[in-house]
Amino acid sequence: MNAVAHLIASGLLPVSVPVVVAVSAIAPLVLWRVHALSGHGARQHAPAPVVPTTVPTPNPAPVQRPAVPAPAAPPRQPAATPAPDADELLPDARALAERIGRTPPLRTLQAELGIGQRRAQRIQAALAA
């Protein structure tokens, strides 16, 4: 459309009825194509839904299975906590305590003995007892 306007302005294309009709038809054609691409026109041209020719049979009722009681879980026993003096690292912790002159802090026990916090707490409690 822009090219036609330039051709008319430069005098290379004379204004005539076919040119006016062609240029005027561009906008409606673009609008129609956008509408068709957006899917609004697809519903009008969609094929009719297929109607089944056979009568569907109803699904049979689900089979009732007898209820089986779940086995009772055995009672949970608390985990055995080792005695405070039973830890194999306790002698190393006592040596560390003698070396620093007091009960070692948790972080020191963890770093020196390479253990976790809970085990360090148990060892610290055994040292303090």
Q: Does this model's pTM top 0.85? A: no
Residue 52 lies in a domain: no
Phi, psi of 57 (to 5 degrees): -85, 140
- The total of structural domains in the chain comes to 2
Q: Which residue range is the domain that position 95 belongs to? A: 84-128
Residue 8 lies in a domain: yes
Distance CA 18, CA 69 (A): 88
Distance CA 129, CA 85 (A): 10
Phi-psi region of 70 (alpha: psi -120 to 50; beta: other; left: phi over 0): beta
Q: What is the pLDDT of residues 18-61, one digit of tens each?
A: 888 888 888 899 988 888 888 765 555 667 777 767 766 777 77
Q: What is the pLDDT of residues 91-114, one digit of tens each?
A: 999 999 999 999 999 999 999 999
Residue 66 lies in a domain: no
